[in-house]
Amino acid sequence: MNLQFDDTIVALASAPGSGAAGLIRVSGSDIIPCLEHCFHSDDQWQNSRLPTRHPGTIRLAGSDSRLPGALYFWPTVRSFTGQPLAEFHTISSPPLLESAIENLAAHGARMARPGEFTLRAFLAGRVDLVQAEAVLGVIDAYDHEELNLALSQLAGGVSTRIGAARLELLELLSELEAGLDFVEEDIEFIDRETLVKRLQKIRAFCEHLYLDSSERMESTGNLSLVLAGLPNAGKSTLYNALVGDKQAALVSDIEGTTRDYLATSLNWNGQPIQLIDTAGLEAGVHGISISAQEFRQQKMTQADLVIWCTAADLRPELKSVDQSQREQLAKSQNVLTVLTKSDLSPALAATHKCEVALSVAEETGLDDLKQLILSRLTEYRRGSRQLIGSTASRCRDSLRQAGLALQAAEEAAQLQVGEELVAIEIREALQHLGQIVGQVYTDDILDRIFSKFCIGK
């Protein structure tokens, strides 16, 4: 990849095709001569030192015709690209926009490569790699939650936390190295207990981001909703009701009817959801049963929300099992408790500690369940997701390596080994965290990231 970015580049930055408005973007250290040949305005925009807007016209290629619009001009390195930047806003007419770009290219500008405007912003230090990837995340967002996540990342939410972790590690490293400089005087700049606690805190942050990145890589784009519970808890009946097909899943009074898992893609109020029905919890005694339980555990682990179904006619001897399994699951998963078959025991439905009581037979409680599901999924996603998918994929190994290095540093500190060994592991962690935000990078990494962008971004 050519990292030289002093030359002037131009590209269409708005969506292709006709529309209400079009946008041409130009950037480069020598942008003014190019614009002087192509843009006309009564304003004295060339000598401006502040971002300004100027009404005017841009000359089309091959004629004296001009396209009216407005030039937004950032004359200093305080622009997005870290160099003089101009954007021409006008009507979105593909032939006219192409002719204007052709004229700019004929007077000193070249066509921009995919992602080159954002690449220049990164190289100029205006954004880090995490924020640069968020630009593409905003463009590719498929729903409001993805858009909000990308905007949060673009605003520097994750970058700020990673930066704080790196700063904390740098402070620890400086204190350790200061102690090495005064080792003969037996001066302790930081005690081992404090050192271990601070390392543990940073490692927990890295591991949390690593788990988030793993979930993002496993995600299909839809939110995963899994029905779980003991055998004959009414899961398949509820699955059919939510899908809207009474024949979608086999329903029987015989326990253990569901052996495999079923999955259906739904769309509730614009929110894409993958609904999954799993086998009931039981002790496997043969191959099929064991495989069913493995599928069940895998799907629950990957779920954004688990609907735990407890039947109103549950046998008394199974109530303690149902409760213990539900409570154990809630320690690691987002769980919503549902009392099914409420028509069989109205009294229990009134007293049972559940979030929703429903009866598919009487068609009660289903709308309440859907609304609660959407609310819980939105709340969970907003609170737990920190990385967009492309960032998660790139950063996953760096986060894992940083966590391992911090764990090794902790162990070295706890074993009272030499401080120089602890310092080596901290430097390793700093190296991996630096790769995430782009303080350490290679041309291959940049090429892999920015080649995914469209031209003009």
Question: Which residues are documented as binding site for (6S)-5-formyl-5,6,7,8-tetrahydrofolate?
Answer: 25, 87, 126, 457
Q: What count of other Cβ atoms lies within 10 Å of the Cβ of residue 432?
A: 21
Cβ pair 303, 332 in contact under 8 A: no
User: One-letter amino acid identity for 21?
Assistant: A
| Tokens describing residue 412 | 């070295």
As a whole number of angstroms, the distance between CA 311 and CA 405 comes to 48
As a whole number of angstroms, the distance between CA 125 and CA 224 comes to 38
Binding-site residue set: 25, 87, 126, 232-237, 252-258, 277-280, 457
Q: What are 228's strand-pairing partners?
A: 308
For the chain, the residue count is 457
Token look-up 């500690």 returns 353
Q: How far is CA 83 from CA 32, 37, 291, 408, in A?
A: 12, 19, 59, 43
Task: Give the residue from 242, 211, 223, 243 showing the smallest Cα distance to 142.
Answer: 223
Cβ pair 420, 142 in contact under 8 A: no
Q: How far is CA 174 from CA 163, 167, 411, in A?
A: 16, 11, 19
Give the chain's end-to-end CA distance (angstroms, integer).
17
Q: What are 72's strand-pairing partners?
A: 53, 87
Binding-site residue set for Mg(2+): 236, 258
Binding-site residue set for GTP: 232-237, 252-258, 277-280
Binding-site residue set for K(+): 232, 252, 254, 257
Alpha helices for 267-354 (secondary structure H): 287-302, 319-330, 346-351
* Secondary structure class of 229 (helix, strand, coil): strand
Cβ pair 394, 449 in contact under 8 A: yes
As a whole number of angstroms, the distance between CA 53 and CA 45 comes to 8
Chain-centre distance for alpha carbon 149: 6
